[in-house]
Structure 1
Amino acid sequence: MSNTQQPDVKDSNDPRQCLLVAALRLFAEKGFVAATTREICEAAGANISAIRYYFGDKAGLYRAVYSEPLIKMPARGNRQRYANLPIAEALELFFSDFLTPFKLGDDIGLVMKLHYREMLEPTGAWQKEIETEIKPQHEELLSLLKQHLGVTEVDIDMQRLAFAIVGMGVHMFVGQDIVAAIAPQMLTTPEAVDILAKRLSGYALAMLNNEAQRRAEEGAV
């Protein structure tokens, strides 16, 4: 997801932007197949021919909604940001960056919901995101783990650990409706998001230390 700031879409009189906003909400809630072009145009206050004019077809509209920077997102993938920090600080910063979207207002929830719906109901956009966003972030985390464990090669146990750690953050997005129903106070304010990042980094450090102990006991290091 891009980091370029766009105008406030809620107040936009631009027909194209109105279509993007309406489509974001409907695609996020219903998915690509179930959301119809007619209801998107009705929500945007646009003529049905506007989609053809601006995007070519429904698939073109979806690609634009998925890839265009409707909302400013935090920069990711800069390994130097974490490399020289103590592991506890690096993990806390990692989770702070990971959870930052929860501080960016209601629309970011729709953006994230759309991206995780794409994961479950892929149209092809998800594979591109894996290559450009997910893999670099995963490699970034592996670099931290290797540094702390004092190893040079990534093995399957390190992959298991990396997926377990990042999974704690991923669940906050995938399961945000569940979180909102059970413990909404976890994500309601920027301060609450900061506390969550701190707690998750502590849990991740405990997992990492457990893996270090296992490797020491088995002579794997």
Structure 2
Amino acid sequence: MTSLATSLPDAARSRLVRAALRLFAEKGYEAATTREISEAAGANISAIRYYFGDKAGLYRAAFTEPLGELPCHANRTLYASLPLAAALRLLLKDFLEPLKRGEEIRWVMKLHFREMIEPTGAWQEEIDAEIKPQHEALLGLLQRRLGLEQADADTHRLAFAILGMAVHFYVGQDVAVALLPELLDSSAAIDVLAERLAGYALSMIEGEARRRAGEPLHGAA
């Protein structure tokens, strides 16, 4: 059950989450101390226990909360009701929505990378709570287009390839900005990116449909 302390907006709590995100990303779970986090947040160290219970609770909050409630969850039923092209556009727009948060999402990615190197168990929770539902939503669209009752290994490969295009802009955000800043410099640019990726994804899906039907692929010798 969500406590009153975590359900109500609170400036001190928000500052603690932001400070923890940066310091855990920079130093890791073990090296970042609750005292330096509270000092960076301008909060009393006792506030950590009040809002999060302990350091582990603060870490979970810093790991998950900056991304907010991802629209992919709320829109899963909607994806299934739309034509494939429209569903892909919406799914990828939802997937890329956190990129609009700019600097904060860079810290989120750094913390995720550190979690992979120095695991605390938070990454598995992220897979179960966020990544798996997104993957399954895309699988549903692919199964519908390919006429499959159940996703096979190639369906999973295709889903990973499609979402991988979008993931690349999270993982390689600094590189993308260095090479062509306007790719990600506004909400409108990120929406255009989602639109383009949806078009690429649609081509990939149609190519897979032709492959399954035994038809020659464009450009094949």
CA contact (8 A) 1:73 1:101 kept: no
Matches within 5 A, 1:25-104: 25-46=22-43, 51=48, 54-67=51-64, 69-70=65-66, 72-77=68-73, 78-104=75-101
Runs of 4+ in structure 1 deviating by more than 6 angstroms, as ranges, are none
Task: Identify the range of structure 1 (73-82 vs 131-140) with the bigger mean alpha-carbon deviation.
Answer: 73-82
AA of the residue aligned to 1:157? D
Render the CA deviation track for 1:78-117: whole Å, top value 9, x for unaligned. Answer: 3321112221111111110100112235334433543454
Secondary structure at the residue paired with 2:125? helix
Structure 2 unaligned blocks of 5 or more: 1-5, 216-221
Aligned to 2:219: none
Judging changes above 3 Å, is the alpha-carbon distance between structure 1 residues 184 and 6 closer, same or farther for their aligned structure 2 residues?
farther
Deviation at 1:163, TM superposition (A): 0.5
Asked whether the equivalents of residues 16 and 38 of structure 2 are also in contact (C-alpha less than 8 Å), the reply is yes
CA RMSD of aligned residues (A): 2.7
Higher relative contact order at CA 8 Å, sep ≥6: structure 1 or structure 2? Answer: 1
Query: Could you say which residue in structure 1 is the equivalent of 2:3?
Result: none
1:32 CA displacement: 1.9
Q: Is the 8 A contact 1:95 1:169 kept in 2?
A: yes
Q: How many residues align?
A: 209
Contact residue 6 and residue 71 of structure 1 kept, 8 A? no
Among 186, 208, 212, which residue is 2:209 paired with? 212
Normalized against structure 2, the TM-score is what? 0.81
Task: Give the residue type in structure 1 aligned to 2:86.
Answer: E
Give % identity: 61
| CA spacing shift, 1:84–1:59, aligned 2, 3 Å | closer
Which one is further off, 32-41 or 154-163? 32-41
Match of 1:188 in 2: 185
The whole-number CA distance in structure 2 between the counterparts of 1:166 and 1:5 is 32
Q: Which runs of 5+ in 1 are unaligned?
A: none
Which AA in structure 2 matches 1:173? Y
CA distance in 2, matches of 1:85, 1:105: 30
User: For residue 19 of structure 1, what is the amino acid of its counterpart?
Assistant: L
- The verdict on how the C-alpha distance between 1:5 and 1:196 changes in structure 2, with shifts beyond 3 A counting, is farther
* Structure 2 Cα separation of the partners of residues 30 and 183 of structure 1: 30
Matches within 5 A, 1:163-178: 163-178=160-175
CA deviation after TM superposition for structure 1 residue 200, in Å: 0.7
Q: 2 CA distance for matches of 1:150 and 1:81?
A: 19
